[in-house]
Chains A and B, each alone.
Chain A
Amino acid sequence: MYDESNYKIEAKAYSASDTSVSPAEEPEQELYHSKSWWTTYVFSQDAKYIGIQYICAATAIALVGLILSVLMRVQLAYPELNVLDPTTYYQSLTMHGMIMVIFFLTALFLGGFGNLLIPLMIGARDMVFPYVNMMSFWVFVLSLLVLMASYLVPGGPTGAGWTLYPPQSITSGTPGNLWGLILMLVSVVLFIVGFTMGGLNYVITVLQSRTRGMTLMRMPLSVWGIFVATIIALLAFPALFVGGLMLLLDAVLGTSFYMPAIIATSNLGKDLSTGGGSPILFQHLFWFFGHPEVYIVALPAFGIVSDLFSVHARKNIFGYRMMVWSIIAIAVLSFIVWAHHMYVAGMTPWFGFFFASTTLMIAIPTGIKMYNWLLTLWRGNIRFTVPMLFALGFFITFLNGGLTGMFMGNVGTDIALSDTYFVVAHFHFTIGIAPVLVVFGAIYHWFPLMTGRMLNEGLGKLHFWITFIGAYMIYFPMHYQGLQGVPRRYFEMYDSVHATSSGLNEFITIITIVVAVAQLLFFYNVINSALSGKKAKRNPWNANSLEWQTPEMPPKHGNWGREQPRVYRWAYDYGVPGADKDYIPQNLSSKDIGKANVEKT
């Protein structure tokens, strides 16, 4: 009530036949103008710079994760070389998981692409609270430093798996069970703090500072994906925060939130005179966060892929409204499926019915999206540019990964497949390969926006084919291994019957090394093109969304020059009958589009 006295909208409602745009509801935001080199390039408050900073930091930590994965693969394929001892193997496994899921993918999609794309795509000048946005990046960097510091402490990093299940993560015998665990948890807590600062910015910017004419249902799906993922994250990270804090207290103070009485009475390492805690409480808290987390990674990828498909196939996204509602439905459902990670953990058996049902339900909106992507491409004017290739790669790999999820979503089949390589194959396909392909596609697509230059097309295609085919050759055989019963998180197979898969292990490892080295092509391409690549023309992909309609490219501080744009249509008017060109940007009014037969959106 108090707040709204500033509200100036006129009483005239926006009616269907009225093509003019609503008047401004508030004065334009005041921008922070930096005065020194430090506040322009280091402590930048401009979302575009912060986005690039996030992309760079997340990529750097991803390289660490990649190296860890190569080391683990070499150990699995050639155990006689003793590249890693068991302790180091489990530490690498844990760090690889935590880095890739949280510090790489979440930071990259939400912090990197969120900051870069959201203000531009909705016509704002910047995020709503640039100072806090800047702080969020530096807290993220601090969390990375704390994470890496776990290599320097006595005992090394924790080797408890990225899921950090107690009591094993605290008892001796697990690598890094004191200092490594403490630093891991502190770094995760710092990440959550930093993410909350950024996340509040992304959500409120989308809800409260869209430009005139930009309704929620006119936003590009990239914004929808990142926006809904941020909301999920704001609601899911608290569970990780609480679970992690209690684990930290168990490790440091000897509280017994999770340590059961049986540990105290047996000789499992630490002398724990406390007892009576509930280990499964941690699993519930962790997975209440953990399952929404994978959708935090997947939903921005879904959104971005929709935009890549429609721009590079010159066709409107099929079923835009259903795509939006599917994203929302996936987000809501993602909170009620978590215990499908716990079917064999010893929880209440009857939960299997409930969670298996909801898990199968979540396949429905996901399936709707898959069909809609297919129908977007159908009879489209497909240009096989590098972004389109990566988007197609996403489609195929996510289809594969999603289908294998059905086997583990059902309780009966999960009993056989749980903790095998089948699970490893499934999650690498769905959050390892597919979103990473989208990241590559997105960088090839928006590189001109960030630098004003184009990436080399030939190198890009080579990079795509090696990465796509290679990733398939790495992870597809793991389904077979899983069906054979090869357990995950095992340091080596020794003389077991599973050692017969060692030929397969060697094959996978060699391909891994090839794909890992091939990423150098990508980095060479990025650096070379940023310095001396072909200069891009304004709006090089002939796209509709607002980020390409700025007066200068790359956009300058404030994005829009003198006046923010006005929006008259959705972002998908491609190939409209009667139009001059095969695209109609969002900020072209009806006067400017001649005889084009556009529908009201």
Chain B
Amino acid sequence: MIQYNKQKVKTHKIGIYLWIWGLLFVFSFFSYMVDYLNFEGSLRWTLIVLFMFSKAALIMSIFMHLFWERYAIVNVLLWPMTLMMLFVWIMVAESKYTLLTRIFYFILGS
């Protein structure tokens, strides 16, 4: 640990952080505009998700440094999210079924 302190570490120039900061502002502004301009339907959905993932990717890759890390940690972190994607898909289907049965039995059937 002592010898670590004596070594000089190469850091990024401050510019990259400011650029990404700015880009995040831009994406947030666009996301906000999607709501302000009252986009509807699947266009709204697509844009929201697109900007969300873009911001997430920027934060993870630059601020959290994953762009420069080795593939081992990147893969270990990203592949488990496919499990969550599956869970999302299952629960979307389940919610649709629940809503269907509620409408069918409580509203139509009453």
Contacts and interface: CB of A to CB of B under 8 A. Distances in A.
Do A's and B's CB atoms come within 8 Å in the complex?
yes
A284 B86 contact: no
B68 A1 contact: yes
B4 A6 contact: yes
Contact of A284 (B3, B8, B10, B91): B91
Interface in B11-68: 11, 65, 68
Among A2, A6, A348: residue with most chain B CB under 10 A: A348
Contact of B93 (A5, A6, A30, A351): A351
Interface residues of A, number: 20
Interface string B55-99: 000000000010011000000000010010011001101110110
A347 interface: yes
A280 B7 contact: no
A280 B87 contact: no
Interface residues of B, number: 23
Contacts of A30: 1
Contacts of B86: 335-336
Interface string A334-354: 011001000000011011000
Interface in A1-54: 1-2, 5-6, 27, 30
B108 interface: no
Contacts, number: 44
A2 to B, nearest CB: 5
B98 A5 contact: no
A5 B7 contact: yes
A227 interface: no
Given A235-B80, A288-B87, A335-B83, A2 B94 contact: no
Interface string A259-296: 00100000000000000001011001000100000000
Given A284-B91, A284-B94, A351-B93, A2 B83 contact: no
A261 B106 CA distance: 10
A1 B94 contact: no
B10 A1 contact: yes
A348 B68 contact: no
Nearest to A348: B97
B84 to A, nearest CB: 9
Interface string A407-448: 000000000000000000000000000000000000000000
A348 B90 CA distance: 9
Contacts of B68: 1
B11 A2 contact: yes
Interface string A498-523: 00000000000000000000000000
A1 B65 contact: yes
Contacts of B80: 235
Contacts of A336: 83, 86
A284 B88 CA distance: 11
Nearest to A342: B94
Given A1-B68, A2-B9, A351 B90 contact: yes
B88 to A, nearest CB: 11
B83 A235 contact: yes
B87 A347 contact: no
A281 B98 CA distance: 10
Which of A1, A284, A339, A351 has the largest number of chain B CB atoms within 10 A? Answer: A1
Given A1-B68, A336-B86, A347 B94 contact: yes
B98 A278 contact: yes
A46 B39 CA distance: 59
A280 B4 contact: no
Contacts of A284: 90-91, 94
14 contacts: A2-B9, A2-B11, A5-B4, A5-B8, A6-B4, A235-B83, A261-B106, A278-B95, A278-B98, A280-B94, A281-B94, A284-B91, A348-B94, A351-B93
Interface of A: 1-2, 5-6, 27, 30, 235, 261, 278, 280-281, 284, 288, 335-336, 339, 347-348, 350-351
Given A278-B95, A278-B98, A351-B93, 14 more contacts: A5-B4, A5-B10, A30-B1, A261-B106, A284-B90, A284-B91, A284-B94, A288-B87, A335-B83, A336-B83, A336-B86, A347-B94, A347-B97, A348-B94
